[in-house]
């Protein structure tokens, strides 16, 4: 088991590093190809920051561990709202100015409801996986169109400004694009192997390992991005990254895993994990939308989100004892 723990730690460290390099390389390559900065920020960077969840879940599904794939996706969503936004709001209250993000918050709530409905038959079939991917493609197109139309929106302008900073010579951009992707694949395989071995050694399901250790590790890029954004006063980017990541995890990551390997779902996923994910998403909608006033996540609400995440992790620990 010692080797498995080392594999998880090393895998997570290399995963975070390679995801960062992959984002830098892919964004800079896109700039050299003449892609608009706004599209780079909303698509290329958005996909890149969620690459750890996607690659880990895809490899887990390929290797016959779909529970790990599902746990990674849902656990990352819970960590994104409870841990990342909770900690970020404690550092600096998050003000929501963007109309684009306010429109996405209720849609994210509906997407989470769709995920819950799919779990009622105790599995996510390949057909349901394709449905998730189709919904994701439609929402991505809608988001890009909204961003392009509302160039004066605070979120769109902040994303465009951030994307414009990805500048490097083309040869280095391609180098980091390729090497980052290779390291992502290798570190993900190491991480999945270590996580499965730990699950077997502790006699727990790979779902629980995915919900806790793996989800926490693959959410680290979003945490670093959110903290950096609020320090620069880019509050909408901090929230936008979390919303985008949760869309990606719920639809694309689970969809890809389901298409690769149908996922059998235990009753605890709906009554525990999806319930917590849904309540956190609903709470984010309530405090972030504003309902006639500017949306805002203050320090007290941030502490509440963080407390919910810690309570959920405690719930997971109790379930395996």
**What digits encode the pLDDT tens for the residues 123-151?**
899 999 999 999 999 988 887 777 666 66
Spatial contact of 147 and 155, defined as CB atoms under 8 Å apart: yes
**Residue 143 in contact with residue 42, Cβ under 8 Å?**
yes
Task: Report residue 167's pLDDT band, with 50, 70 and 90 as the boundaries.
Answer: confident
| Three-class DSSP category at 96 | strand
Residues 6+ apart with CB under 8 A from 302: 85, 86, 87, 88, 89, 90, 93, 94
57 has pLDDT over 70: yes
Say whether pLDDT at 187 is over 80: yes
- Position 41 pLDDT exceeds 70: no
| List of E strands, 189-273 | 263-264
Average pLDDT, the chain: 83
The proportion of the chain whose per-residue pLDDT surpasses 70, expressed as a percent, equals: 88
Q: Which pLDDT belongs to residue 304?
A: 92
Comparing 62-71, 139-148, 150-159, which segment has the lowest mean pLDDT?
A: 150-159
CB 89 within 8 A of CB 302: yes
pLDDT at 152: 65
Q: The domain that contains 81 carries what CATH number? A: 1.20.1420.30
User: Measured between alpha carbons, how far is residue 130 from residues 69, 72, 252 in Å?
Assistant: 16, 19, 9
Average pLDDT over residues 73-82: 92
Per-residue pLDDT, averaged over 184-194, amounts to 84
Percent of the chain at pLDDT > 90 equals 18
Tens of pLDDT, residue by residue over 216-250, are 887 877 787 777 777 777 777 778 888 888 988 99
Residue 42 in this model has a pLDDT that exceeds 70: no
Q: Return the beta strands (E) in the chain as ranges.
A: 94-96, 123-124, 263-264, 295-297
Domain that holds residue 66: 2-319
- Domains of the chain: total: 1
| DSSP letter string, 49-79 | HTHHHHHHHHHHHHTT-HHHHHHHHHHHHHI
214 has pLDDT over 80: yes
Query: Which range in 53-62, 167-176, 268-277, 281-290 is most confidently predicted, on average pLDDT?
Result: 268-277
Residues 106 and 250: their CA atoms lie apart, in Å, by: 15
Rounded CA-CA distance 104/285 in Å is 9
Q: Which of 178, 156, 172 is nearest to 37 (CA)?
A: 156
């Amino acid at each position: 088991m010692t080797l498995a723990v080392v594999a998880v730690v090393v895998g997570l460290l290399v995963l975070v590093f390679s995801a960062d390099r992959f984002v830098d390389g892919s964004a800079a390559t896109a700039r050299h190809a003449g892609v608009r900065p706004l599209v780079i920020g909303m698509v290329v960077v958005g996909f890149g920051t969620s690459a750890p969840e996607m690659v880990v879940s895809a490899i887990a599904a390929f290797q016959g561990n779909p529970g790990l794939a599902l746990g990674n996706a849902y656990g990352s969503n819970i960590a994104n709202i409870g841990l990342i936004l909770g900690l970020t709001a404690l550092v600096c209250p998050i003000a929501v100015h963007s109309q684009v993000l306010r429109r996405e918050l209720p849609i994210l709530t509906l997407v989470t409801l769709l995920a819950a409905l799919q779990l009622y038959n105790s599995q996510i079939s390949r057909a349901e996986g394709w449905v998730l991917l189709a919904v994701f493609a439609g929402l991505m197109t809608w988001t890009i169109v909204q961003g392009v139309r509302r160039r004066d929106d605070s979120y769109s302008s902040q994303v465009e400004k951030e994307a414009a900073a990805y500048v490097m010579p083309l040869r280095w951009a391609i180098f980091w694009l390729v090497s980052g992707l290779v390291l992502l694949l290798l570190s993900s395989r190491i991480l999945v192997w270590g996580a499965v071995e730990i699950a077997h050694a502790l006699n727990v399901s790979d779902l629980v390992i995915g919900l806790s250790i793996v989800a926490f590790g693959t959410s680290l890029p979003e945490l670093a991005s959110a903290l950096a954004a609020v320090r620069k006063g880019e509050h909408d980017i901090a929230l936008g990254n979390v919303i985008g990541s949760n869309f990606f995890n719920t639809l694309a990551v689970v969809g890809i895993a389901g298409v690769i390997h149908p996922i059998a779902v235990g009753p605890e996923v709906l009554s525990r994990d999806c319930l917590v994910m849904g309540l956190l998403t609903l709470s984010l909608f309530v405090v972030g939308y504003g309902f006639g006033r500017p949306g805002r996540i203050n320090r007290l609400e941030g502490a509440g989100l963080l407390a919910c995440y810690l309570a959920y992790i405690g719930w997971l620990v109790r379930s395996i004892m």
